[in-house]
Structure 1
Amino acid sequence: MKTDIQGLSDIIIFVNTFYSKVQNDDLIGPIFNSVISDWQPHLDKMYLFWNAALFGVPGFKGNPFAKHAPLPIEGKHFERWLLLFNDTIDSHFEGEMATETKKRAGLMAAMFLTKLENMKGGPDKVIV
């Protein structure tokens, strides 16, 4: 029986599982693998991000959009990201917080895509 996302230990499970899928995905894997050589610091940051986003626990510092803006990503990449993310959540969890987590991921993806479509970032441009 699946349980709901209840705290950091559950966040670690879904972050690790999700990013393992990302690394091995034929569409988005090469993009992220080209800029992340050591995944553990990224995973550590994502634990903090999701703990802050879902449970209000302080500790995350960063600007996720600025990190993603220079990447060659577009709508199809966000669709795949969400597919992998939602599949990960659905495979391990069910309940109100699981639903909320997928909702927040969808909102972030939509916001990132909208911002990217309205500005022309590139590897030689820093967007803060």
Structure 2
Amino acid sequence: MSDIQNLASIKLMVDDFYTRVRRDGLLGPVFNNVIKDDWQPHLDKMYAFWNAALFGVAGFKGNPFARHAPLLINAGHFERWLELFNQTIDSHFAGPMANDAKNRAGLMAAMFQSKLANLKGGPERVIV
């Protein structure tokens, strides 16, 4: 297997990953409830996101956390998301960029969970 090398690699990764997400019993309903049958705009945004994250290519605009904050998601959703993401990477790629993608996905999941917990007050805070 080769490493993630360019936009074509990213499109392969994103397309396969979101095919897995759509079919998943836990994640599929969450995404399908928001995206419905119009997946291409989301996929295009993810191509730009990962191209910026991995290769520093300008073009991504958006606030990923703001789009996810209203969703009814929890740690189990993030665990499954990471599991599918890592499976996707490992089924197509091997090398430093593949490892970087998995690391960035893990960091992003941890950051989103932390921000969601703070948004909801966290376990030690009471919001009145």
Tell me which interval the TM-score lies in, with the shorter structure as reference length: over 0.9
Q: Equivalent residue of 2:119, what SS?
A: coil
Displacement after TM superposition at 1:72 (Å): 0.3
1:33-52 to 2 correspondence within 5 Å? 33-37=32-36, 38-52=38-52
Matches within 5 A, 1:113-124: 113-120=113-120
Letter of the 2:82 counterpart = L
* Structure (1 or 2) with the larger CA radius of gyration: 2
Equivalent residue letter for 1:52: A
Q: CA shift at 1:118, angstroms? A: 1.0
Report 1:81-96 matches (<5 A): 81-96=81-96
1:34-67 per-position Cα deviation (integer Å, ceiling 9, x unaligned): 0002000000000000000000000000000000
How many pairs are equivalent?
120
CA distance in 1, matches of 2:14, 2:51: 11
- Which structure 1 residue ranges, 4+ long, deviate > 3 Å from structure 2? none
Identity of paired residues, percent? Answer: 68
SS of structure 2 residue aligned to 1:94: coil
Partner of 1:71: 71
1:75-110 CA-to-partner distances (Å, cap 9, x unmatched) read 000000000000000000000000000000000000
Q: Point out where structure 1 has 5 or more consecutive residues left out of the alignment.
A: 122-128
Which AA in structure 1 matches 2:19?
S
Unaligned runs of 5+ in 2: 122-128
Provide the secondary structure at the position in 1 that maps to 2:47: helix
Query: Counterparts of 2:46 and 2:16 in 1: how far apart (Å)?
Result: 12
Provide the aligned C-alpha RMSD in A: 1.0
